[in-house]
Amino acid sequence: MLRLIIVLIALSAGGGAAWIAAQQTAPAPEPVADVPTPVAAEMTAVLVAARDVSHGARVTTGALRWQQWPADAVPAAFIERTARPDALTELAGQFAIRPILAGEPIAGRALSPQPNGFLAATLVPGKRAVAIQVDAQSTAGGFILPNDRVDVLHTVRDTRERDSTEAQSRTIFRNVRVLAIDQTTEDTDSGTMLGKTATLELTEAQVEAVTAAGSTGTLSLSLRPREELPGEASMEIQDAPKTIRVRRGTAIEEIVIN
């Protein structure tokens, strides 16, 4: 019995010694790095559409709401609550000059106080809107839509002879923006519009030139690719054809010099 007790004491002592040795040789735990607490971004409230607003619709207070927005990512065109705290009631009753989607911020030129100011509000400063007569043939079969870019062609027929079918065409404007076809200022789902008038965006001098060209011939539109950069409309300045009369005895011959 005494021998068994001595053996147990020896085993206990050996186990304790082994545990102490393991603790002394075990690597120290690595310190845990402090994770910085994320700083919340500063927010501000901007005015957005509470629901979809169609083109020309009158905006009510229920169609607008304030939404939180990162303060360092607010474009200048947005309406902030800190700058215009009464904007929600001030803009109620105005009219949408273009479709506005729910959640879309209300920019400065999205609304108009007058119901008839849609087209004027979309004009670039310094530009004018002018309407020209068109048909399906002169608008690429009706596939020219609002906001497309076109070239304007001027066609003049030879009127010196009654039965003459000769005609001359030349491009007088390039890269012109189409504002509307008839009374429509938006693309259609069908992709075709057979209108009678096309409204173009031109400068004042270009408006005078296209009006004069329309009174001396017919105007047609040539559709440009959408992949091209919009740029500014340019006017092609070309000298008008000159006619010289040559008399040979009693015969008079007219020669056209381009």
Q: What's the confidence (pLDDT) of residue 76? A: 87
Question: What's the CATH class of domain 43-117?
Answer: alpha beta
pLDDT tens, residue by residue, 240-253 = 444 455 555 666 66
Element (H, E) at 3: helix 2-25
For the chain, the average pLDDT equals: 76
- Bridge-based pairing of strands 242-248 and 218-223 is unpaired
Q: What's the confidence (pLDDT) of residue 144? A: 82
pLDDT tens, residue by residue, 115-127 = 655 667 677 788 8
Residue 254 has pLDDT above 60, yes or no: no
Q: Give mean pLDDT, residues 13-33.
A: 61
Per-residue b or e along 83-121, where b marks 16 or more CB atoms closer than 10 Å to that residue's CB: eeeebbeebeebbbbbebeeeebbeeebbbeeeeebeee
Secondary structure class of 54 (helix, strand, coil): coil
| Pick from 152, 169, 46: nearest CA to 108 | 46
- Going from N- to C-terminal start, the domains of the chain cover 43-117, 123-239
